[in-house]
Chains A and B, each alone.
Chain A
């Protein structure tokens, strides 16, 4: 009963499948129907003899293959026929395309021999078949194809019967192995179908040009029927294909639209950031927490920010948002930017400030998007790229609670404040360790130390206004400027210092109105007395790293006053101070020097006078000696010239000398003699004996006698 049913079902299916095909398929139907009748088969064979074209044979083979494939599909759908039959059919299907491929590629005798071998095998298997025609190759091929299909069904029938005879356990094992084989064969079948598609599309054979359009939907239809595991892989492949299409469109769009450079750099940054993220994940939060804690502790201890824009809570929320996994890239970009500046020691402070400002300008819109879900206001190309990324990653993030209900400008200010504080506080050591700043600070401190002795009056300030307590409090307040690391906090410190100054001034009794005329000198005096170690560096830091548009007007005035005071001190000299009111140590020291110099001059003068006196004495002694010698020579010469006259004159002189015994007369004579000697010295200093007259000789003799008398009187 069962045996009779199965072949009838198979035959019926063949009939159903072959009906919609073309006329040639109808002819095939006729052949199949006539297989049961020998006479009709012979007639058909005779008809086939008329058509001897290889093309027709090839086409019929392809049609048969398609028919078999469709049969497989119906079998799978119905799940009636045993797996064994399916296996046999599929194996035959696998063989046939291979043979067709060989026929297509090579038309040699070897292929015919292989076909003949197959035919022989089939004949051996099929005992019921009585038709054996080896004379005609064409007829053999056609018969072989038809017989092989029938033999496949019959062999499956016999194998199933034999399996029934075997034990149940063997059947179970065979079923398991058959199932696995089934899966494998279906997989390979898919592969070979694709191979056949490729071979059919080869340009070498023009006869196949009409068929690819017909084959494509079948392949898609076949691929749809593949079992689950292959479908899973197929779905991923489909998505890949779709992505490929999208990538092509994106590349075309990207090529068409000229993208700005920073976006590409941002892409590179993100790639590098991802790599660094993998490396730095455990390290970054540890580094983050102490810094934020330090800033919080300092700020909580010292300052109370009343400004709602840029509070510490807002900064904490921003950091928390950036520490999330989705947005850690931006935080890492900040850290890498900071580290690059730290590592690059060739940069000057101006370069650092310009690079920081430009970096903040580029990253500000990104953070506004991340923290407050504000859309970008950049180029269209950039918008498209960023939107694609954002859409791919996740929907827009919800805005932070602390930033709710604020305008775009206010949010921009808050995020700018955050970035400024974050970057500046971490670059603080890099900036303050620069040699330029250290040199200028040291020079300024040395310059200020020279003026520590000044009093308020040197700056036209009343002494009653400023007291030691006043200075101590202001110094204490000014020293905090160096403690804070962000320019905003430093400015808050300066503002607080000025407010303290005003409070202290209000306590004192002021003679007049307090304006800049009085404020600036007081600030200068306080800075000189406090002598801050990093005055110049702090002012430079604030001016370079603080956006001037965000500085409050009043605080800006205080900053400008500090800058003017510092510049005045830098160029300050003693001449610029008023010396007349109260003289200070430098003028006194200068006066003392002058006095010492004057004393030295006086001493020198005294010495010079002494030398002059000595010289005068020496001159006198020198002049006296030659005169005496001259007189003696003259005396001798006179004696030789005229002895008589001399004797007479001597007698007269003796009388004269005897007559002049009076002491008074002697004194007068001595005085006169001295005068005469002086006159004579003047007259006869350079005279010669020949030039002298008689009267002159007498005078000389008289003088000689007087000198001799004096000489003996002393003895």
Chain B
């Protein structure tokens, strides 16, 4: 990757069978049921887009939503700039699970992460269990944005990712300063590391001299 291209890590969370992977497949390859292409990259997705003259590289990390793997989430979402929490509008338990993920992300990563709550399967409106107003109210209360999508009908997905990327860019405009300081921090870290070396080296080399 070139220096001008910025990379954002987005983590995909939610209960199993709510359609997390279908949403990303629709966005990356505009595919819903092509099995051959789906298996080329399972779990990891990468897309290069251009917004406002800036070249952006989105890396989307899919996670396992089963309950037995809940404790392993931090390994995935550590160091990510965006999070997509997906629930099924026909399943109340998935919405409760999504709320738990939101709480965990807020406690672990603070406000630096851009949160999106996605109500998938909106093509099954007749069997909706969770009212849209309730979901939007909850999203507003936690500082996230709610989206209604349908991977099957390719509805609301493109807007979802564009908005998320813009929000991450805005955060990164603040983060750009951080990144600059980080780069300077890295240089200072290296300069700070330099005095540490001779102590350990001198300690190591004394036995070398003794051996010689």
Contacts and interface: CB of A to CB of B under 8 A. Distances in A.
A521 B179 CA distance: 36
A505 B190 CA distance: 45
B69 A272 contact: no
A553 B44 CA distance: 9
Interface in A336-381: 336-337, 339-341, 343-344, 355, 357-359, 361-362, 378
A560 interface: yes
Interface string A505-525: 110001001111111110000
A32 interface: no
Contacts of B20: 515-517
B205 A409 contact: no
A506 B39 contact: yes
A109 to B, nearest CB: 67
B18 to A, nearest CB: 9
Contact of A518 (B42, B76, B205): B42
B113 interface: no
B63 interface: yes
Nearest to B206: A340
B195 A260 contact: yes
A359 B46 CA distance: 34
Of the four ranges (under 10, 10 to 19, 20 to 34, 35 or more), the interface on chain B belongs to 35 or more
Interface in A248-300: 260-262, 264-265, 269, 272, 275-276
Given A362-B194, A506-B39, A553-B46, A272 B204 contact: no
A505 B71 CA distance: 27
B43 A358 contact: no
A360 B108 CA distance: 32
B150 to A, nearest CB: 15
Given A362-B194, A553-B46, A560-B75, A265 B41 contact: no
Contact of A502 (B24, B41, B201, B205): B41
B87 interface: no
B11 to A, nearest CB: 10
A567 interface: yes
A554 interface: yes
A514 B190 contact: no
A515 B38 CA distance: 9
Contacts of A336: 205, 208
A341 to B, nearest CB: 7
A582 B16 CA distance: 21
Given A513-B25, A517-B17, A265 B198 contact: yes
A558 B42 CA distance: 10
A576 interface: yes
Contact of A519 (B3, B35, B42): B42
B94 to A, nearest CB: 13
Q: Which of A260, A502, A564 has the most CB of B within 10 A?
A: A564
Given A514-B21, A517-B20, A576-B68, A563 B75 contact: yes
Interface string B188-203: 0011011111101110
A604 to B, nearest CB: 41
Contacts of B88: none
The dominant DSSP class at the A interface is: helix
B101 interface: no
Interface string A98-114: 00000000000000000
A261 B197 CA distance: 9
Interface residues of A, number: 51
Contacts of A215: none
Given A362-B193, A517-B66, A272 B76 contact: no
Contacts of B16: 517
B154 interface: no
Contact of B72 (A358, A510, A568): A568
A513 B207 CA distance: 60
Contact of B3 (A260, A337, A409): A409
A517 B197 CA distance: 45
A265 B198 CA distance: 6
B76 to A, nearest CB: 6
A358 B196 contact: yes
B204 A340 contact: yes
A193 interface: no
Contacts of B59: 553-554, 557
A123 interface: no
Contacts of B190: 361
A208 B211 CA distance: 61
A554 B44 CA distance: 6
Given A343-B211, A506-B36, A553-B7, A515 B193 contact: no
B61 interface: yes
B51 interface: no
Contacts of A517: 16-17, 20-21, 62, 64-66
B40 interface: yes
Contacts of A355: 197, 200, 204
Interface in A540-596: 553-554, 557-558, 560-561, 563-564, 567-568, 571, 576
B197 A262 contact: yes
A170 B116 CA distance: 117
B69 A520 contact: yes
A609 interface: no
B177 interface: no
A696 interface: no
A57 interface: no
A13 interface: no
Interface of A: 260-262, 264-265, 269, 272, 275-276, 336-337, 339-341, 343-344, 355, 357-359, 361-362, 378, 409, 460, 502-503, 505-506, 510, 513-521, 553-554, 557-558, 560-561, 563-564, 567-568, 571, 576
7 contacts: A260-B195, A265-B198, A272-B208, A343-B207, A517-B16, A517-B64, A564-B76
Q: Kindly list the 3 A-B residue pairs having the minimum CB-CB distance in the complex, ordered from nearest.
A: A515-B21, A265-B198, A340-B204
Given A505-B39, A516-B63, 14 more contacts: A261-B194, A269-B205, A343-B211, A359-B197, A378-B191, A514-B38, A517-B16, A517-B20, A517-B64, A520-B69, A553-B59, A557-B44, A560-B75, A560-B76
